[in-house]
Amino acid sequence: MLYMKQLSICHALATLLLFYHVVNVLQVSRPVEPYASKTSALCKFYVCAHFTLLILGYVRLNHLKGEMETTTLACGIGYITFSLVVMGTFLDGRSCACPLEVIRCVLLFILDGYIFHLGMPGSQIVGPGLLITFAKVAYALSLTGALVECLRGIRVIDDRMKAN
């Protein structure tokens, strides 16, 4: 019974907070500048392709969640969440996007080697071999591209420092 009282109190607080935020919405004045993403079409395609791979991974995790260990499932969910954050940095055009992409790609290979064992016989996460090979190649190419972009960014900063 105590649990139900706590639950109803939590619902009441959540409703009050929601009402508070709805009432305190800022008034928008004219002219309103529409949000125009400065992200290139290639970057949007890249994010969509990796998002598709993430969706496939999520579907596989969801399908096997009853058979997996809790740590494996938690690592998969954490990786998907981190990947979504990195994709958001790409779409926002943030300067930290490339280093985060390097971390994300390296993290996939580390998780694959120690936890997921993608495509290995006897693994919990087994899928079509061609798809898993494609995903690993895509991540290897992404890692290479992100590393090159990070190094290019370091060189540009270095050239600016020499000019001053």
**Contact assessment for residue 143 and residue 105, using Cβ atoms and an 8 Å cutoff:** yes
DSSP state of 32: P
Picking from 124, 86, 129, the residue whose alpha carbon sits closest to that of residue 107 is: 86
**What six digits make up the tokens of 58?**
């999520």
Picking from 73, 145, 134, the residue whose alpha carbon sits closest to that of residue 105 is: 145
**Contact assessment for residue 139 and residue 108, using Cβ atoms and an 8 Å cutoff:** yes
For residue range 96-110, what is the model confidence (pLDDT) as tens digits?
Answer: 888 999 999 999 888
Picking from 41, 148, 161, 159, the residue whose alpha carbon sits closest to that of residue 99 is: 148
Q: In sequence order, what are the residues at sequence separation of 6 or more whose Cβ sits closer than 8 angstroms to the Cβ of residue 32?
A: none
User: Taking all residues of the chain, what is their mean pLDDT, rounded to a whole number?
Assistant: 77
111 against 85, higher pLDDT: 85
The DSSP line for 75-144 is HHHHHHHHHHHHHHHHHHT-TTHHHHHHHHHHHHHHHIIIII-TT-TT-SS---HHHHHHHHHHHHHHHH
**Which amino acid would we find at residue 134?**
F
How is the chain split into domains, by residue range?
Answer: 38-163
For residue range 80-100, what is the model confidence (pLDDT) as tens digits?
Answer: 999 999 999 988 888 888 899
In this structure, which long-range contacts are made by residues 55-62, counting pairs with CB atoms below 8 Å and at least 24 apart in sequence? 56/127, 56/131, 56/135, 60/125, 60/127, 61/125
The predicted model scores a pTM of 0.67
For residue range 49-80, what is the model confidence (pLDDT) as tens digits?
Answer: 999 988 888 887 888 788 878 888 888 889 99
For residue range 5-38, what is the model confidence (pLDDT) as tens digits?
Answer: 555 676 666 665 666 655 556 677 778 777 777 7
